[in-house]
């Protein structure tokens, strides 16, 4: 149950709410129904009224229980934030990525979102609620050596738009947030898996014209805006990126054959 003044009294489910961006979203709403593992218990203690429900979004039975428990405890559902997702370690070159790994990522990043969406819709239609999918900037602009992740997030953004059309007759809005680099445990783990974590973190920091990474709270604020105030927005992709997509400049990578025009003498 959200307690913040902007969405007071509404019931919000946030998947992967125990840490990182998900925890930032839970805090931004005040308190909410939330899912996932140990960190969820800590948030439950920190935010009176918040409820932690263990749920693996790739298991349909778990997701059914999440929805039925939410309705049993609160009697309604106003907003679903599909946040749970994963970015495998960098250097996913096509020749090093198995079809099975790709399939597993789609199960989590795409089908997990779809399963909860599908099961929550009857309740969201009743409350004229809304869905917020956490996609990624790279779904729109690409990322090197990350085909499965980029494809999964491109699918999330496309699914958001298709569902926004199908649900508009029922008054359910469907939007997505595409974060850029947000400093979370996932980012920290990805950096730690590289040969020079400090250099990786510096690269990630310099990718934004603002010269810093975003905070989970800043994605949380965007989610509260979409849920509570963006009443004429559906099917949108809201970039929360510090401007990482801006700028026209050098893109050819080291080793790319370069073919520059001759300067007439």
Ligand X SMILES: NC(=O)c1ccc[n+]([C@@H]2O[C@H](COP(=O)([O-])OP(=O)(O)OC[C@H]3O[C@@H](n4cnc5c(N)ncnc54)[C@H](O)[C@@H]3O)[C@@H](O)[C@H]2O)c1
Nearest distance from C-beta of residue 98 to ligand X, angstroms: 19
Site of interaction with ligand X (CB under 6 A): 15-16, 18-22, 35-37, 55-58, 83-87, 108, 112, 134, 136, 179, 181-182, 184-187
CA–CA separation, 101 and 198 (whole Å): 28
Closest separation in Å from C-beta 135 to ligand X = 7
Please pick, among 7, 114, 149, 170, the residue that the annotation labels catalytic. Answer: 149
Nearer residue to ligand X within complex by CB, 35 or 130: 35
Minimum distance of ligand X from residue 75's CB (angstroms): 24
Centre a 10 Å sphere on the Cβ of residue 246 and count the other Cβ atoms it contains. Answer: 11
Q: Which is nearer to ligand X, 127 or 218 (CB)?
A: 218
CA trace torsion 244, 248, 253, 258 (10° rounding): 170
Whether 7 is a known active-site residue: answer no
Pick 107 or 126: Cβ nearer ligand X? 107
Measured distance CA(246)–CA(231) in Å, rounded: 27
Closer residue to ligand X in complex, CB, 178/234: 178
CB closer to ligand X, 42 vs 162: 42
- Give least dist CB 244 to ligand X, A: 10
Q: Which residues are catalytic?
A: 149
């Amino acid at each position: 149950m959200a307690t913040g003044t902007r969405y007071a009294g509404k019931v919000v489910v946030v998947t992967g709410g125990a840490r990182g961006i998900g925890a930032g979203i839970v805090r931004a709403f005040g308190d909410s129904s939330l899912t996932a593992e140990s960190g969820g218990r800590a948030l439950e203690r920190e935010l009176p009224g918040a409820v932690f429900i263990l749920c693996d979004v790739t298991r349909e039975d778990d997701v059914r229980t999440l929805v039925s428990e939410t309705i049993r405890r609160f009697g309604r559902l106003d907003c679903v934030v599909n946040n749970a997702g994963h970015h495998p370690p960098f250097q996913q070159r096509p020749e090093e990525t198995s079809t099975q790994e790709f399939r597993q990522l789609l199960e989590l990043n795409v089908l997990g979102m779809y399963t909860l969406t599908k099961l929550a819709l009857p309740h969201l239609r009743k409350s004229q609620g809304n869905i917020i999918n956490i996609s990624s900037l790279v779904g729109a602009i690409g990322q090197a050596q990350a085909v499965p992740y980029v494809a999964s997030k491109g699918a999330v953004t496309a699914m958001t738009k298709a569902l926004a059309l199908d649900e508009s007759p029922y008054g359910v809005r469907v939007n997505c947030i595409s974060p850029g680099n947000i400093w979370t445990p996932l980012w920290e783990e990805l950096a730690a898996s590289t040969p020079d974590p400090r250099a990786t973190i510096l690269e990630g920091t310099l990718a934004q014209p603002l010269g810093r990474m975003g905070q989970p709270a800043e994605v949380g604020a965007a989610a509260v805006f979409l849920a509570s105030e963006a009443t004429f927005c559906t099917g949108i992709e809201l970039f929360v990126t510090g401007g990482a997509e801006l700028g026209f400049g050098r893109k050819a990578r080291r080793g790319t054959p370069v073919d520059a025009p001759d300067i007439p003498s």
